[in-house]
Amino acid sequence: MSDWGLMNTKSTNKMGCRSALARASLLLAAAATLAGAGCAFNPNLKGGSGSAGTGGTANIPGLTGLTITPPTATLMVTSGGPKQTQQYKVTGMFIGRSSDVTDQVSYSVSPTGIVTVDQNGLAATTGTSGGQVTITASANAVSAKAVLMVSYTFVGPDPGMSATVPPSAPGLFTTTTNTASRAPQLIYPNDNVLFPPNVSGIEIHFMPGTGNTLFEVNLIGPLSSVKTYIRCTAPAGITGCIYLPDPGLWSSVARSNAGQGNVALSVRGTDDTGTSVGASQTFHMRFSQDDIMGALYYWTTSGKTAIMRWDFGGSTKTAVQYLTPANTDGSTCVGCHALAPDGTKLVASAGGQGDGRLLLWNVSTNLPLQPFPLAQRSQFESWNTDGTQFVGVYGDNQSSSSPGHKGPVNLMIFDGTSGAVTQTIDLGGLRADHPDWSKNSTGPETIAFTSVDATATTSDQRPSTGGIDYIQKNGATWGTPQVLVPSQLGTNNYYPAIAPDGNLVVYDHSTCTNGTPALGQTPDKSCDADTDATATVYLTALSGGVAPVPLTNANAPGVADGTNTALTDSFPKWAPFIENLDELHKVVWLTFSSTRQYGLRSPPAPASTDETTKGTLIWMVGMILGPGGSDPSYTAFALPFQDITTSNHIAQWTKIFVNITIDQP
């Protein structure tokens, strides 16, 4: 197996609380070994780290080292039950002696919100969730760490359904009489899905089974056991049950099991007298150790189209409208767009195919950086790492006498403040489309792009017979184009995106189902790179030596899609972070648009004749980084904050959600 920086995710983690505790012991042993070797070990969780206790740095004269006991421990907390406590003892080492310094050191916990530790070393649960907690005792320049595993239990009606679910519901599911016809069928979320722990609003969809009026939803993980009781509810027009868990209950499951392994989801059904019970199949989900942060900007067809935005670190429930035709000339729609990595600048193409006028926007002031439109048109853009430049292309109408364009289309480098073209990169006769500029701070700067059939009369929005090429910068000079994915008649490879590690590249691959166009011919809609039904996301690496692979798990249909695999998985984009899946593995996140079923919910109506039968929603998927060469993806989930009644496309990420400092007049 070739090494391209990826690890397969097929293995199943069935770790329970006891084996989690054993792993914690191994981690602490590893920490001691690393400390002795002069290496750093930091098990703190990103996004949840911090102090809860005395804080500060204690000063104990003559102290040379610390130990904390017990090094590992487990507490069981029940929702609504009493606090559970664990007493710690800290021993200080001095020259020739040791002494109890429990009440003299400073304490911190990571992540916060699960336990607190007082000045006397007593840890107490908060009762809101479980999880793996690192407790650190510090004084002078030395510290000692202990791992506390807190297991969370909840049994009772979902807090949002306490008025309709009887308190006696748990007792109705104790019967040993099982009826196959009563078995509910899980529909969504997909089996083997990965969620960031701070994403809420995830729905559970299922078919109710025969004769059931009451349901038990089980979410059983390494550090949680949740049995919640619900009624079947669903919006008008939907057959089946759609359950939105109470936000606090979902958060408890997510936080308890962040970075810990699989959570088993199942549903059981019965009637209000507990006559007999039916049980669904079991799906598995995981929660990454780290939260996902930053902002997401995407194009929606709401009204006259708009660019929406979402703050992953915020508290709102739905995305908010950000840019509309009012921000151009009052009537021209905005669509394809790109954000500087720090979120302070945005460039958007207006008017759609054949137009390409550019809006250059200052997100911080909520005002244009330059009057609309810029002098040079472009249809697809991408920013460099520091947001000082962006790259664009324009192969649409070059003049009024030329309805299309034949021949080379070179890459243009724009100044990120003035919007002026400062450089044109000669590609030696190639025609470029869909450029993507790498965002990694190490390694060579790279621009990947779709290398389009230069002899065909096609627009940027509908390139034909594409392959994936790239150029790299050596000093101040861009090199010659290198082939990453060759073009091939009968297929189209397009819309590349470079991962935050600077090496991995995803792109779309579609098949010409209505006949293979010859070179120089305009393809039909089955493979023109504009919401192709057969579009699937592929993965390859700039380092070479590895054949591209489809992201089979990410591309896979859900239960409600049945055997349909033509799901229009388009416009893949990476989140700008490399995060922790658990203590041993890294995870990266990807979004794409798709016409697949959102569980029991059908995709939105088509936004235009380009979408002949279905609109698209934005889906998100996690992938593991590590050694390997096969599919590293989990299954995908629909972003819950989007308007599911409209068609949504091209989700663009930034590291920071920039607040507006000056209101637009």
Q: How far apart are CA 50 and CA 112, in angstroms?
A: 6
Q: What is the pLDDT of residues 201-260, one digit of tens each?
A: 999 999 999 999 999 999 999 999 999 999 999 999 999 999 999 999 999 999 999 999
Instruction: Name the nearest CA neighbour of 494 among 428, 446, 448.
Output: 448
For residue 561, what pLDDT is reported?
A: 97
Q: Please tell me what DSSP assigns to residue 108.
A: E
317's tokens: 């429930």
**Which pLDDT does position 441 carry in this prediction?**
81
Q: Angle at Cα 612 formed by Cα 611 and Cα 615, nearest 5°? A: 40
DSSP state of 240: S
Distance of CA 612 to the CA centre of its chain: 28
In DSSP notation, 380-397 reads EEEE-TTSSEEEEE--S-
Provide the residue count of the chain. 665
158-287 against 295-654: fold identical = no
Contact 213, 231 (CB under 8 A): yes
Residues 332-378 pLDDT 10s: 888 889 999 999 999 999 888 888 899 999 999 999 999 999 999 99
CB 661 within 8 A of CB 615: no
Global confidence as pTM: 0.89
Q: What is the pLDDT of residues 477-488, one digit of tens each?
A: 999 999 999 999
pLDDT at 53: 43
Enter the tokens of residue 321.
Answer: 């409208």
Q: Which amino acid is at 179?
A: T
Q: How far apart are CA 274 and CA 126, in angstroms?
A: 35
Contact between residue 396 and residue 433 where contact means Cβ atoms under 8 Å apart? no
Domain ranges (residues) in the chain:
17-151, 158-287, 295-654
Q: The tokens of 304 are what?
A: 């006259």
Q: Which fold has domain 295-654?
A: Neuraminidase (2.120.10)
C-alpha span between 211 and 344 (Å, rounded):
55
Residues forming beta bridges with residue 505, ordered by sequence position: 498, 540
Whether domain 17-151 has CATH 2.60.40.1080: the reply is yes
* DSSP for residue 552: H
* 318 pLDDT higher than 60: yes
**Position 539, amino acid:** L
- Structural contact between residues 152 and 224, judged by C-beta atoms closer than 8 angstroms: yes
Q: In whole angstroms, give the CA distance from residue 332 to residue 353.
A: 12
Q: How far apart are CA 124 and CA 33, in angstroms?
A: 29
CATH of domain 158-287: 2.60.40.10
